[in-house]
Amino acid sequence: MTNSFDTPGSGSPSPFTQVSTNRSFGGHQKVLRHESRALGCSMNVGVYLPPQAESGRCPVLYWLSGLTCTEQNFVTKAGVQEHAARHGIIVVAPDTSPRGEGVADDPAYDLGQGAGFYVDATEAPWAKHYRMHEYVAEELPGLVEAHLPALSDRRGIFGHSMGGHGALVLALKHPGRYRSVSAFSPIVAPSRVPWGEKALGAYLGADREAWKAWDATALVREAKERLPILIDQGDADQFLTRELQPELLRAACEAAGHPLTLRMQPGYDHSYYFIASFMRDHVEHHAAALR
């Protein structure tokens, strides 16, 4: 059952309806739903409001999830609420792709619905709906910052796997917009690994030069700011050698003089058990920059 989500003081009717709300660490974990202009479909968004949001403005931390995920994987498994409540940070976690009837899809898990890759597609049949970069970079922040008055203008971004790729790319493509960035087991070089080659080829076409605009290892060479990057990567991750290859980003950052902390965590895999284990460190990394 959905309820109207009108926030007093926002100045106009809210575009959001409230799908659910749960009390958590003194704040509220909500799931909101809205119609997306960029994606041409309805989208769910997880929003954690810490207790501090009841009395003042709080910085916002955007989370981008990985392949096959919805907003639910993060809000139910990552354990972010305790740490966000301690530091007074709002956390916004959108779905990973457009969804619904009429939205192009593919039988494979790594293309189509659940696999938007945070790019703006240019190729049919994807271009009509798959504009996740526009959605995350422009539309969603515009909506939540207009209709959740508790948000300040201080933003950070982080993510996991495909979402780690998205977080790095957004931070690098939009200097000055975010004060902090981090990632768990990100796809750092999608133009050079099978997951990325498949998705970028489908969404953007065969021109590999065009893919570099969505590749953190290429973008960091031309970065106009030196926002410190924190990455945690499990050394028992089943995708480490084939799909993730964090050493490629380390080499690119060293060549560009870009600050990077890459921590290889012994015995950890690609799962939310890994993410939850180091969530506190990542929230503290962002909190230090967002104060």
Annotated active-site positions, please? 161, 237, 270
The greatest distance separating any two alpha carbons of the chain, rounded to the nearest whole angstrom, comes to 53
Instruction: Name the residue type at position 140.
Output: L
Q: How far apart are CA 36 and CA 123, in angstroms?
A: 20
- Spatial neighbors of 27 by CB under 8 A, at least 6 apart, are 48, 49, 50, 51, 53, 81, 84, 85
* 58-64 vs 90-94, strand pairing mode: parallel
Torsional class of 40: left (φ above 0), alpha (ψ -120 to 50), beta (otherwise):
left
Cβ–Cβ under 8 Å, residues 117 and 162 = yes
Instruction: Return the SS3 of 234.
Output: strand
For the beta carbon of residue 248, count every other beta carbon within 10 angstroms.
Answer: 16
CA dihedral 101, 134, 284, 189 (to 10 degrees): 90
Order of strands across the sheet that contains 229-234: 3-4, 17-24, 27-36, 41-49, 90-94, 58-64, 151-160, 180-184, 229-234, 260-265
